[in-house]
Amino acid sequence: MSPAQPDPVAEFQQRLIDRYTEIARLAGGLAHEIKNPLSTIRLNMELLAEDFAGDDSPRARRTLAKIGLVQRECQRLQDLLDDFLNFAKVRRLRLEPTDLNEEVRQALDFFRPQAKEAGIEIAAYLQSDLPAVLLDREHFRSALLNLLLNAQQAMPKGGTLTVSTEAIPGGVALHLIDTGCGMDEHVRAHAFDAFYSTKSGGTGLGLATTRKIIEGHDGRIEVESEVGRGTHFIIELPAPARLPAASQEPPS
């Protein structure tokens, strides 16, 4: 038997993966490094603002306005770094057998007060007796919250959010349907891109993080949308036929 020939395509792919991993590691480190001086700047801006508190002179007011501007920009950077680090940290998931309906119920309970405030009605249709899925509950919760928040932001004048679950061949599906502004073809095509956002102050990492989480579960997420009518996100997750007992260590 002749010795195995090196596969140039596989080698090239491996080199790309190594390079990507290195860049991701550097970017994560850089984000961390920026956070410390940023908090020093924020703290000093607060102290500076305190120095001028109670001074009603035009000069003091001008200075306070400038300090406020720097503080808002610092906050934006802080949010961006937090979102970025959140995105970068989705790597190793701690999977455990989970009832998807229960996770959805808990996320909706958390979201309901702010939805009510925003005039959003929630309709939930959760199919009973769903097969259990392997979930990292913490990551999955943040994926769901990203979608709920997006739905809320798409319905500034209120609307309806319909959430349903169903068993599908080999797994379960979760649908989130809002009656919001919808997306045109260009937005829909880029919505999952990292740093793509149509919102002022949006980081554009919400859906990228959500997709990374869902794909980390061997699931998939898709979207259908129509401008002026609303948006439908579909998440499909595999339900392994035989799950380890809940108390066992999840497969790593």
Contacting positions for ligand ATP (CB under 6 A): 83, 146, 150-151, 154, 178, 180-183, 187, 191, 196-199, 202-208, 231
203 binds, among Mg ion, ligand ATP, none (CB under 5 to 8 A by kind): ligand ATP
Decide whether 16 or 123 has the Cβ nearer to ligand ATP: 123
Which residues contact Mg ion (rule: CB under 5 A)?
150, 206
Least Å from the CB of residue 168 to ligand ATP: 22
Q: Which does 115 bind (CB under 5 to 8 A by kind): ligand ATP, Mg ion, none?
A: none
Comparing CB distances to Mg ion, the nearer of 152 and 179 is: 152
CA distance 213 to 208: 9
14 binds, among ligand ATP, Mg ion, none (CB under 5 to 8 A by kind): none
- Say which entry of ligand ATP, Mg ion, none residue 199 contacts (CB below 5 to 8 A, set by partner kind): ligand ATP
Q: Which residue is nearest to ligand ATP (CB)?
A: 206
